[in-house]
Structure 1
Protein backbone atom coordinates (compact mmCIF):
# COMPACT_ATOMS: atom_id res chain seq x y z
CA UNK A 1 0.00 0.00 0.00
CA UNK A 2 1.53 3.27 -1.16
CA UNK A 3 0.06 5.28 1.71
CA UNK A 4 2.45 3.60 4.15
CA UNK A 5 5.54 4.62 2.18
CA UNK A 6 4.20 8.11 1.46
CA UNK A 7 3.40 8.83 5.10
CA UNK A 8 6.80 7.45 6.13
CA UNK A 9 8.52 10.07 3.98
CA UNK A 10 6.38 12.72 5.68
CA UNK A 11 7.41 11.52 9.14
CA UNK A 12 11.07 11.48 8.12
CA UNK A 13 10.80 15.03 6.75
CA UNK A 14 9.15 16.34 9.91
CA UNK A 15 11.77 14.61 12.04
CA UNK A 16 14.42 16.56 10.14
CA UNK A 17 12.35 19.71 10.60
CA UNK A 18 12.22 19.19 14.37
CA UNK A 19 15.98 18.56 14.49
CA UNK A 20 16.63 21.87 12.70
CA UNK A 21 14.28 23.71 15.09
CA UNK A 22 15.97 22.04 18.06
CA UNK A 23 19.37 23.27 16.89
CA UNK A 24 17.98 26.80 16.52
CA UNK A 25 16.58 26.77 20.05
CA UNK A 26 19.78 25.27 21.47
CA UNK A 27 21.74 28.20 20.01
CA UNK A 28 19.34 30.92 21.10
CA UNK A 29 22.13 32.59 23.11
CA UNK A 30 25.03 31.82 20.75
CA UNK A 31 26.86 34.95 19.61
CA UNK A 32 26.40 35.61 15.89
CA UNK A 33 24.36 32.43 15.33
CA UNK A 34 22.15 32.34 12.23
CA UNK A 35 18.98 30.29 12.42
CA UNK A 36 18.27 27.57 9.87
CA UNK A 37 15.12 26.50 8.04
CA UNK A 38 14.40 23.09 6.56
CA UNK A 39 13.03 23.17 3.01
CA UNK A 40 11.10 20.36 1.33
CA UNK A 41 9.90 19.31 -2.12
CA UNK A 42 7.40 16.72 -3.30
CA UNK A 43 8.62 13.46 -4.80
CA UNK A 44 7.79 11.96 -8.18
CA UNK A 45 4.19 11.49 -9.28
CA UNK A 46 2.84 8.21 -10.56
CA UNK A 47 0.44 8.62 -13.49
CA UNK A 48 -2.74 6.60 -13.01
CA UNK A 49 -4.26 8.39 -15.99
CA UNK A 50 -2.22 10.90 -18.02
CA UNK A 51 -3.81 14.22 -18.89
CA UNK A 52 -3.86 15.67 -22.40
CA UNK A 53 -4.28 12.26 -24.07
CA UNK A 54 -7.57 11.32 -25.88
CA UNK A 55 -9.53 8.62 -24.14
CA UNK A 56 -10.23 7.03 -27.55
CA UNK A 57 -9.52 7.74 -31.19
CA UNK A 58 -11.03 11.01 -32.37
CA UNK A 59 -11.95 12.11 -28.88
CA UNK A 60 -10.98 15.24 -27.05
CA UNK A 61 -7.91 15.11 -24.81
CA UNK A 62 -8.56 14.26 -21.18
CA UNK A 63 -8.60 17.63 -19.37
CA UNK A 64 -7.43 16.28 -16.02
CA UNK A 65 -5.32 13.28 -15.34
CA UNK A 66 -4.82 11.22 -12.20
CA UNK A 67 -1.35 11.81 -10.75
CA UNK A 68 -0.58 10.30 -7.36
CA UNK A 69 2.30 11.85 -5.42
CA UNK A 70 4.82 9.57 -3.76
CA UNK A 71 5.75 11.71 -0.77
CA UNK A 72 8.19 14.41 0.27
CA UNK A 73 11.94 14.84 0.64
CA UNK A 74 14.30 17.34 2.25
CA UNK A 75 15.96 19.48 -0.42
CA UNK A 76 17.98 21.78 1.80
CA UNK A 77 18.56 23.40 5.17
CA UNK A 78 18.92 27.12 4.59
CA UNK A 79 20.93 29.32 6.92
CA UNK A 80 19.15 32.67 7.25
CA UNK A 81 21.79 35.38 7.49
CA UNK A 82 19.54 38.03 9.00
CA UNK A 83 20.88 40.69 11.35
CA UNK A 84 20.76 39.73 15.02
CA UNK A 85 20.19 42.09 17.93
CA UNK A 86 23.22 44.10 19.07
CA UNK A 87 23.95 43.95 22.79
CA UNK A 88 26.26 46.33 24.60
CA UNK A 89 29.00 44.58 26.58
CA UNK A 90 31.48 47.29 27.55
CA UNK A 91 34.38 45.10 26.38
CA UNK A 92 36.62 47.01 23.96
CA UNK A 93 37.47 43.82 22.04
CA UNK A 94 33.83 42.93 21.43
CA UNK A 95 32.99 43.94 17.86
CA UNK A 96 29.68 43.64 16.03
CA UNK A 97 28.89 44.20 12.36
CA UNK A 98 25.80 46.34 11.94
CA UNK A 99 24.83 45.39 8.40
CA UNK A 100 26.37 43.03 5.87
CA UNK A 101 29.85 41.59 6.19
CA UNK A 102 31.83 38.94 8.03
CA UNK A 103 35.19 38.96 9.79
CA UNK A 104 38.04 36.98 8.22
CA UNK A 105 39.67 34.36 10.42
CA UNK A 106 42.82 32.32 9.78
CA UNK A 107 42.83 28.82 11.28
CA UNK A 108 45.99 27.11 12.59
CA UNK A 109 46.27 25.11 9.32
CA UNK A 110 46.22 28.32 7.26
CA UNK A 111 42.64 28.17 5.96
CA UNK A 112 40.56 31.35 5.76
CA UNK A 113 37.13 31.10 7.35
CA UNK A 114 34.51 33.68 8.25
CA UNK A 115 32.44 34.64 11.27
CA UNK A 116 29.92 37.15 12.58
CA UNK A 117 30.89 36.48 16.20
CA UNK A 118 33.19 39.35 17.14
CA UNK A 119 33.99 38.27 20.71
CA UNK A 120 37.73 38.72 20.25
CA UNK A 121 40.65 38.56 22.67
CA UNK A 122 44.36 39.35 22.88
CA UNK A 123 46.77 36.42 22.68
CA UNK A 124 49.92 36.10 24.78
CA UNK A 125 51.85 37.77 21.94
CA UNK A 126 49.36 40.64 21.70
CA UNK A 127 47.56 39.48 18.54
CA UNK A 128 43.82 39.91 18.00
CA UNK A 129 42.33 36.40 18.10
CA UNK A 130 38.99 34.62 18.45
CA UNK A 131 37.83 32.80 21.58
CA UNK A 132 39.46 29.66 20.16
CA UNK A 133 42.78 31.42 19.56
CA UNK A 134 42.41 31.75 15.77
CA UNK A 135 44.01 34.84 14.25
CA UNK A 136 41.83 37.65 12.94
CA UNK A 137 42.86 38.59 9.39
CA UNK A 138 44.47 41.05 8.66
CA UNK A 139 46.60 40.45 11.72
CA UNK A 140 46.44 43.14 14.42
CA UNK A 141 49.11 43.19 17.14
CA UNK A 142 48.63 45.34 20.24
CA UNK A 143 51.51 46.90 22.16
CA UNK A 144 51.98 45.25 25.54
CA UNK A 145 51.74 48.64 27.25
CA UNK A 146 48.56 49.77 25.46
CA UNK A 147 46.18 51.44 27.91
CA UNK A 148 43.14 51.75 25.65
CA UNK A 149 41.93 50.27 22.38
CA UNK A 150 39.60 52.04 19.97
CA UNK A 151 37.99 50.54 16.86
CA UNK A 152 36.06 53.01 14.74
CA UNK A 153 33.07 52.28 12.49
CA UNK A 154 35.27 51.74 9.44
CA UNK A 155 37.35 49.08 11.21
CA UNK A 156 40.51 51.09 11.92
CA UNK A 157 42.16 49.87 15.12
CA UNK A 158 43.94 52.36 17.39
CA UNK A 159 45.84 51.89 20.64
CA UNK A 160 46.62 54.49 23.27
CA UNK A 161 50.23 54.13 24.43
CA UNK A 162 51.73 55.90 27.47
CA UNK A 163 53.79 59.03 26.77
CA UNK A 164 52.08 59.49 23.38
CA UNK A 165 49.44 62.17 22.92
CA UNK A 166 47.73 60.70 19.87
CA UNK A 167 46.54 57.10 19.54
CA UNK A 168 48.62 54.81 17.32
CA UNK A 169 46.98 53.26 14.24
CA UNK A 170 47.60 49.50 14.40
CA UNK A 171 45.75 48.31 11.30
CA UNK A 172 42.53 48.05 9.34
CA UNK A 173 39.96 45.29 9.77
CA UNK A 174 38.43 43.91 6.56
CA UNK A 175 34.88 42.66 6.04
CA UNK A 176 33.84 40.02 3.51
CA UNK A 177 30.58 39.60 1.61
CA UNK A 178 29.28 36.70 -0.48
CA UNK A 179 26.71 36.77 -3.26
CA UNK A 180 24.96 33.77 -1.65
CA UNK A 181 25.55 33.71 2.10
CA UNK A 182 23.21 30.72 2.45
CA UNK A 183 25.72 28.71 0.40
CA UNK A 184 28.44 29.03 3.05
CA UNK A 185 29.34 25.81 4.84
CA UNK A 186 28.81 26.06 8.63
CA UNK A 187 31.76 24.52 10.46
CA UNK A 188 30.68 25.01 14.05
CA UNK A 189 32.40 27.36 16.52
CA UNK A 190 30.55 30.24 14.77
CA UNK A 191 32.69 29.75 11.64
CA UNK A 192 31.71 29.46 7.96
CA UNK A 193 33.70 28.33 4.95
CA UNK A 194 33.49 29.42 1.33
CA UNK A 195 31.96 26.95 -1.13
CA UNK A 196 31.15 26.90 -4.83
CA UNK A 197 27.55 27.71 -3.91
CA UNK A 198 28.48 30.80 -1.88
CA UNK A 199 30.46 32.45 -4.66
CA UNK A 200 33.80 34.20 -4.38
CA UNK A 201 34.50 36.39 -1.32
CA UNK A 202 34.28 40.14 -1.86
CA UNK A 203 36.44 42.10 0.58
CA UNK A 204 35.81 45.67 1.59
CA UNK A 205 36.02 48.29 4.31
CA UNK A 206 33.27 48.68 6.89
CA UNK A 207 30.97 51.54 6.03
CA UNK A 208 31.54 51.31 2.27
CA UNK A 209 28.60 50.63 -0.04
CA UNK A 210 27.32 47.10 0.56
CA UNK A 211 29.18 46.70 3.88
CA UNK A 212 27.95 47.29 7.41
CA UNK A 213 29.61 49.35 10.11
CA UNK A 214 31.64 47.97 12.99
CA UNK A 215 30.33 48.71 16.46
CA UNK A 216 32.87 48.46 19.28
CA UNK A 217 31.73 47.30 22.75
CA UNK A 218 28.82 45.40 21.16
CA UNK A 219 28.12 41.80 20.21
CA UNK A 220 25.59 40.50 17.71
CA UNK A 221 23.22 38.05 19.30
CA UNK A 222 21.52 35.06 17.72
CA UNK A 223 18.76 35.88 15.23
CA UNK A 224 16.59 33.07 16.64
CA UNK A 225 13.06 34.22 17.53
CA UNK A 226 11.86 31.94 20.38
CA UNK A 227 8.17 32.58 19.69
CA UNK A 228 8.58 31.72 16.01
CA UNK A 229 10.58 28.57 16.81
CA UNK A 230 8.00 27.30 19.31
CA UNK A 231 5.22 27.95 16.79
CA UNK A 232 7.07 26.05 14.07
CA UNK A 233 7.84 23.25 16.54
CA UNK A 234 4.14 22.81 17.29
CA UNK A 235 3.35 22.82 13.56
CA UNK A 236 6.04 20.20 12.87
CA UNK A 237 4.79 18.05 15.73
CA UNK A 238 1.21 18.16 14.43
CA UNK A 239 2.37 17.28 10.91
CA UNK A 240 4.32 14.33 12.33
CA UNK A 241 1.23 13.15 14.22
CA UNK A 242 -0.96 13.39 11.10
CA UNK A 243 1.49 11.31 9.07
CA UNK A 244 1.51 8.79 11.91
CA UNK A 245 -2.31 8.67 11.76
CA UNK A 246 -2.12 7.97 8.02
CA UNK A 247 0.18 5.01 8.64
CA UNK A 248 -2.20 3.75 11.33
CA UNK A 249 -5.19 4.11 9.01
CA UNK A 250 -3.37 2.37 6.13
CA UNK A 251 -2.40 -0.46 8.47
CA UNK A 252 -6.02 -0.90 9.60
CA UNK A 253 -7.20 -0.94 5.96
CA UNK A 254 -4.60 -3.57 5.09
CA UNK A 255 -5.62 -5.57 8.13
CA UNK A 256 -9.28 -5.43 7.04
CA UNK A 257 -8.35 -6.70 3.57
CA UNK A 258 -6.20 -9.53 4.93
CA UNK A 259 -8.96 -10.62 7.30
CA UNK A 260 -11.43 -10.65 4.40
CA UNK A 261 -9.12 -12.90 2.42
CA UNK A 262 -8.84 -15.36 5.30
Structure 2
Protein backbone atom coordinates (compact mmCIF):
# COMPACT_ATOMS: atom_id res chain seq x y z
CA UNK A 1 0.00 0.00 0.00
CA UNK A 2 2.86 2.36 0.80
CA UNK A 3 4.14 1.88 -2.77
CA UNK A 4 0.91 3.46 -4.04
CA UNK A 5 1.62 6.56 -1.97
CA UNK A 6 5.10 7.12 -3.41
CA UNK A 7 3.98 6.22 -6.94
CA UNK A 8 1.07 8.67 -6.88
CA UNK A 9 3.35 11.31 -5.38
CA UNK A 10 5.66 11.08 -8.40
CA UNK A 11 2.62 11.58 -10.61
CA UNK A 12 1.61 14.71 -8.69
CA UNK A 13 5.16 16.08 -8.96
CA UNK A 14 5.24 15.38 -12.69
CA UNK A 15 1.94 17.15 -13.29
CA UNK A 16 3.10 20.11 -11.20
CA UNK A 17 6.15 20.40 -13.45
CA UNK A 18 3.85 20.12 -16.46
CA UNK A 19 1.79 23.05 -15.14
CA UNK A 20 5.00 25.04 -14.54
CA UNK A 21 6.01 24.49 -18.19
CA UNK A 22 2.57 25.49 -19.48
CA UNK A 23 2.56 28.59 -17.26
CA UNK A 24 5.88 29.70 -18.76
CA UNK A 25 4.50 29.17 -22.28
CA UNK A 26 1.40 31.24 -21.55
CA UNK A 27 3.44 33.96 -19.84
CA UNK A 28 5.48 34.35 -23.05
CA UNK A 29 2.58 34.28 -25.49
CA UNK A 30 3.45 37.83 -26.63
CA UNK A 31 7.26 37.44 -26.50
CA UNK A 32 8.91 37.98 -29.89
CA UNK A 33 10.50 34.81 -31.25
CA UNK A 34 9.62 32.72 -28.20
CA UNK A 35 9.49 28.96 -28.77
CA UNK A 36 7.11 26.94 -26.63
CA UNK A 37 8.42 24.24 -24.33
CA UNK A 38 7.05 20.72 -24.19
CA UNK A 39 7.46 18.56 -21.10
CA UNK A 40 8.48 14.93 -21.68
CA UNK A 41 8.08 12.20 -19.07
CA UNK A 42 9.39 8.68 -18.53
CA UNK A 43 8.36 5.81 -16.30
CA UNK A 44 10.49 4.80 -13.31
CA UNK A 45 11.97 1.45 -12.28
CA UNK A 46 9.71 -1.59 -12.02
CA UNK A 47 9.57 -4.10 -9.19
CA UNK A 48 9.60 -7.52 -10.87
CA UNK A 49 7.56 -9.94 -8.82
CA UNK A 50 7.61 -12.63 -11.51
CA UNK A 51 9.83 -12.81 -14.58
CA UNK A 52 8.20 -13.30 -17.97
CA UNK A 53 9.12 -16.70 -19.40
CA UNK A 54 9.86 -18.13 -15.99
CA UNK A 55 9.22 -21.87 -15.67
CA UNK A 56 6.20 -22.35 -13.43
CA UNK A 57 6.07 -26.13 -13.72
CA UNK A 58 7.79 -28.87 -15.68
CA UNK A 59 7.86 -27.80 -19.33
CA UNK A 60 5.52 -24.84 -18.70
CA UNK A 61 6.66 -21.20 -18.79
CA UNK A 62 4.74 -18.09 -17.84
CA UNK A 63 3.70 -16.10 -20.93
CA UNK A 64 3.94 -12.83 -19.00
CA UNK A 65 5.41 -11.56 -15.79
CA UNK A 66 4.34 -9.33 -12.93
CA UNK A 67 5.92 -5.87 -12.86
CA UNK A 68 4.79 -3.09 -10.52
CA UNK A 69 5.81 0.38 -11.63
CA UNK A 70 7.25 3.09 -9.38
CA UNK A 71 5.71 6.11 -11.10
CA UNK A 72 6.99 8.77 -13.46
CA UNK A 73 9.42 11.66 -13.67
CA UNK A 74 10.26 14.58 -15.95
CA UNK A 75 12.85 13.42 -18.50
CA UNK A 76 13.23 16.56 -20.62
CA UNK A 77 11.67 19.89 -21.54
CA UNK A 78 12.14 20.26 -25.27
CA UNK A 79 11.88 23.43 -27.34
CA UNK A 80 9.45 23.35 -30.24
CA UNK A 81 10.93 25.40 -33.09
CA UNK A 82 7.83 25.60 -35.24
CA UNK A 83 7.37 29.06 -36.84
CA UNK A 84 5.43 31.72 -34.99
CA UNK A 85 2.92 34.12 -36.49
CA UNK A 86 4.34 36.91 -38.66
CA UNK A 87 3.13 40.41 -37.77
CA UNK A 88 3.79 43.37 -40.04
CA UNK A 89 5.13 46.41 -38.20
CA UNK A 90 6.40 48.61 -41.02
CA UNK A 91 9.67 49.31 -39.17
CA UNK A 92 12.71 48.85 -41.40
CA UNK A 93 14.78 47.20 -38.65
CA UNK A 94 12.08 44.75 -37.57
CA UNK A 95 13.02 41.41 -39.14
CA UNK A 96 11.50 37.95 -39.18
CA UNK A 97 13.25 34.78 -40.35
CA UNK A 98 11.15 32.71 -42.75
CA UNK A 99 12.64 29.31 -42.07
CA UNK A 100 15.67 27.98 -40.23
CA UNK A 101 18.20 30.24 -38.56
CA UNK A 102 18.99 32.64 -35.74
CA UNK A 103 20.29 36.18 -35.51
CA UNK A 104 23.70 36.35 -33.84
CA UNK A 105 24.50 39.03 -31.24
CA UNK A 106 27.59 39.80 -29.17
CA UNK A 107 27.63 40.12 -25.38
CA UNK A 108 29.79 42.81 -23.72
CA UNK A 109 32.42 40.15 -22.92
CA UNK A 110 32.60 39.10 -26.57
CA UNK A 111 30.63 35.85 -26.25
CA UNK A 112 28.03 35.10 -28.91
CA UNK A 113 24.35 34.46 -28.33
CA UNK A 114 21.52 33.59 -30.71
CA UNK A 115 17.95 34.83 -31.00
CA UNK A 116 14.81 34.65 -33.14
CA UNK A 117 13.72 38.07 -31.86
CA UNK A 118 14.22 40.40 -34.80
CA UNK A 119 13.21 43.70 -33.18
CA UNK A 120 16.37 45.73 -33.83
CA UNK A 121 17.23 49.41 -33.65
CA UNK A 122 20.32 51.61 -33.77
CA UNK A 123 22.39 52.83 -30.83
CA UNK A 124 24.24 56.15 -30.45
CA UNK A 125 27.08 54.89 -32.66
CA UNK A 126 24.69 53.82 -35.43
CA UNK A 127 25.21 50.09 -34.80
CA UNK A 128 22.22 47.80 -35.24
CA UNK A 129 21.44 46.36 -31.79
CA UNK A 130 18.63 44.42 -30.14
CA UNK A 131 16.34 45.80 -27.43
CA UNK A 132 19.02 45.13 -24.77
CA UNK A 133 21.73 46.95 -26.71
CA UNK A 134 23.57 43.86 -27.94
CA UNK A 135 25.09 44.41 -31.38
CA UNK A 136 24.60 42.11 -34.35
CA UNK A 137 27.56 39.96 -35.32
CA UNK A 138 29.07 40.73 -37.75
CA UNK A 139 28.32 44.37 -36.85
CA UNK A 140 26.34 46.62 -39.18
CA UNK A 141 26.57 50.40 -38.79
CA UNK A 142 24.07 52.87 -40.21
CA UNK A 143 25.64 56.24 -41.18
CA UNK A 144 24.35 59.40 -39.51
CA UNK A 145 23.17 60.91 -42.78
CA UNK A 146 20.98 57.95 -43.73
CA UNK A 147 17.43 58.93 -44.62
CA UNK A 148 16.18 55.43 -45.36
CA UNK A 149 17.05 51.82 -44.52
CA UNK A 150 16.11 48.62 -46.32
CA UNK A 151 16.99 45.00 -45.57
CA UNK A 152 16.88 42.43 -48.37
CA UNK A 153 15.79 38.81 -48.17
CA UNK A 154 19.47 37.82 -48.16
CA UNK A 155 20.23 40.17 -45.26
CA UNK A 156 21.83 42.91 -47.34
CA UNK A 157 21.45 46.27 -45.56
CA UNK A 158 21.13 49.25 -47.88
CA UNK A 159 20.78 52.88 -46.83
CA UNK A 160 19.69 55.99 -48.69
CA UNK A 161 21.62 59.23 -48.23
CA UNK A 162 21.78 62.56 -50.02
CA UNK A 163 24.45 60.96 -52.22
CA UNK A 164 22.27 58.03 -53.27
CA UNK A 165 22.06 54.43 -52.04
CA UNK A 166 24.87 52.34 -50.64
CA UNK A 167 25.28 48.92 -49.08
CA UNK A 168 26.57 49.10 -45.50
CA UNK A 169 26.61 45.45 -44.47
CA UNK A 170 25.05 42.01 -44.55
CA UNK A 171 23.15 40.31 -41.74
CA UNK A 172 24.38 36.74 -41.41
CA UNK A 173 22.26 33.94 -39.94
CA UNK A 174 23.31 30.97 -37.83
CA UNK A 175 21.79 27.52 -37.52
CA UNK A 176 22.63 24.39 -35.52
CA UNK A 177 22.61 20.64 -36.17
CA UNK A 178 20.37 20.26 -33.09
CA UNK A 179 18.63 23.51 -32.22
CA UNK A 180 16.72 21.79 -29.40
CA UNK A 181 20.05 21.39 -27.62
CA UNK A 182 20.47 25.15 -27.21
CA UNK A 183 20.16 26.47 -23.69
CA UNK A 184 17.86 29.40 -22.96
CA UNK A 185 19.42 32.28 -21.02
CA UNK A 186 16.51 34.72 -20.86
CA UNK A 187 16.32 37.98 -22.76
CA UNK A 188 15.19 35.99 -25.84
CA UNK A 189 18.72 34.58 -26.12
CA UNK A 190 20.03 31.05 -26.65
CA UNK A 191 23.55 29.79 -26.02
CA UNK A 192 25.50 27.02 -27.74
CA UNK A 193 25.99 23.71 -25.93
CA UNK A 194 27.70 20.41 -26.74
CA UNK A 195 24.28 18.98 -27.52
CA UNK A 196 23.40 21.74 -30.01
CA UNK A 197 26.56 21.27 -32.04
CA UNK A 198 28.74 24.02 -33.47
CA UNK A 199 27.01 26.98 -35.14
CA UNK A 200 26.90 27.11 -38.93
CA UNK A 201 26.99 30.61 -40.37
CA UNK A 202 25.54 31.49 -43.76
CA UNK A 203 23.61 33.89 -45.94
CA UNK A 204 19.87 34.23 -45.46
CA UNK A 205 17.85 32.45 -48.14
CA UNK A 206 20.72 30.15 -49.16
CA UNK A 207 21.95 26.67 -48.20
CA UNK A 208 18.97 25.86 -45.98
CA UNK A 209 18.84 29.20 -44.17
CA UNK A 210 15.53 31.05 -44.00
CA UNK A 211 15.08 34.36 -45.76
CA UNK A 212 14.74 37.63 -43.89
CA UNK A 213 11.40 39.42 -44.05
CA UNK A 214 11.95 43.07 -43.19
CA UNK A 215 9.17 45.15 -41.67
CA UNK A 216 7.78 42.14 -39.79
CA UNK A 217 8.28 40.32 -36.50
CA UNK A 218 7.93 36.66 -35.59
CA UNK A 219 5.71 36.32 -32.56
CA UNK A 220 5.58 33.43 -30.10
CA UNK A 221 4.53 30.03 -31.45
CA UNK A 222 2.43 29.40 -28.33
CA UNK A 223 -1.17 28.45 -29.14
CA UNK A 224 -3.40 29.52 -26.25
CA UNK A 225 -6.13 26.94 -26.89
CA UNK A 226 -3.67 24.04 -26.97
CA UNK A 227 -1.96 25.24 -23.81
CA UNK A 228 -5.27 25.59 -21.96
CA UNK A 229 -6.28 22.07 -23.00
CA UNK A 230 -2.94 20.74 -21.72
CA UNK A 231 -3.41 22.75 -18.52
CA UNK A 232 -6.81 21.17 -17.86
CA UNK A 233 -5.39 17.70 -18.60
CA UNK A 234 -2.50 18.24 -16.17
CA UNK A 235 -4.85 19.54 -13.49
CA UNK A 236 -7.15 16.52 -13.81
CA UNK A 237 -4.17 14.14 -13.76
CA UNK A 238 -2.94 15.83 -10.58
CA UNK A 239 -6.36 15.38 -8.98
CA UNK A 240 -6.53 11.70 -9.99
CA UNK A 241 -3.11 11.02 -8.46
CA UNK A 242 -4.20 12.72 -5.25
CA UNK A 243 -7.27 10.47 -5.22
CA UNK A 244 -4.99 7.44 -5.49
CA UNK A 245 -3.27 8.59 -2.29
CA UNK A 246 -6.65 9.07 -0.60
CA UNK A 247 -7.72 5.60 -1.75
CA UNK A 248 -4.55 4.06 -0.31
CA UNK A 249 -5.09 5.93 2.96
CA UNK A 250 -8.69 4.70 3.12
CA UNK A 251 -7.59 1.09 2.57
CA UNK A 252 -4.95 1.38 5.31
CA UNK A 253 -7.56 2.82 7.64
CA UNK A 254 -9.88 -0.12 6.89
CA UNK A 255 -7.07 -2.59 7.56
CA UNK A 256 -6.26 -0.91 10.87
CA UNK A 257 -9.87 -1.15 12.00
CA UNK A 258 -9.90 -4.93 11.50
CA UNK A 259 -7.86 -5.49 14.66
CA UNK A 260 -10.07 -3.36 16.89
Give the TM-score of the pair, scaled to structure 1: 0.97
Which residue matches 1:137?
137
CA distance in 1, matches of 2:145, 2:110: 29
Which residue matches 1:20?
21
| Deviation (angstroms), 1:261 | 3.1
Structure 2: where are the runs of 5+ without partners?
none
Which residue matches 2:112?
112
CA distance in 1, matches of 2:108, 2:38: 31
Answer yes or no: is 1:256 the counterpart of 2:257. no
| Deviation (angstroms), 1:109 | 1.3
| Deviation (angstroms), 1:209 | 2.6
Structural mapping, 1:63-212, within 5 Å: 63-162=63-162, 164-165=163-164, 167-212=165-210
Which residue matches 2:9?
8
> Residue deviations 1:184-239, cap 9 Å, x none?
00011100001011111111100103111001110000000011001111111110
Structure 1: where are the runs of 5+ without partners?
none
CA distance in 1, matches of 2:198, 2:61: 50
Which residue matches 1:41?
42
> Residue deviations 1:60-101, cap 9 Å, x none?
221110000100010000010111111000111101101110
CA distance in 2, matches of 1:180, 1:255: 52
| Deviation (angstroms), 1:257 | 1.4
**Structure 1 runs of 4+ off > 4 angstroms?**
none
2:55 aligned counterpart, secondary structure: coil
1:109 aligned counterpart, secondary structure: coil
CA distance in 1, matches of 2:140, 2:125: 11
1:3 aligned counterpart, secondary structure: helix
CA distance in 1, matches of 2:209, 2:124: 31
Which residue matches 2:236?
238
Give the TM-score of the pair, scaled to structure 2: 0.98
CA RMSD of aligned residues (A): 0.8
CA distance in 1, matches of 2:112, 2:201: 13
| Deviation (angstroms), 1:173 | 0.8
Answer yes or no: is 1:219 the counterpart of 2:217. yes
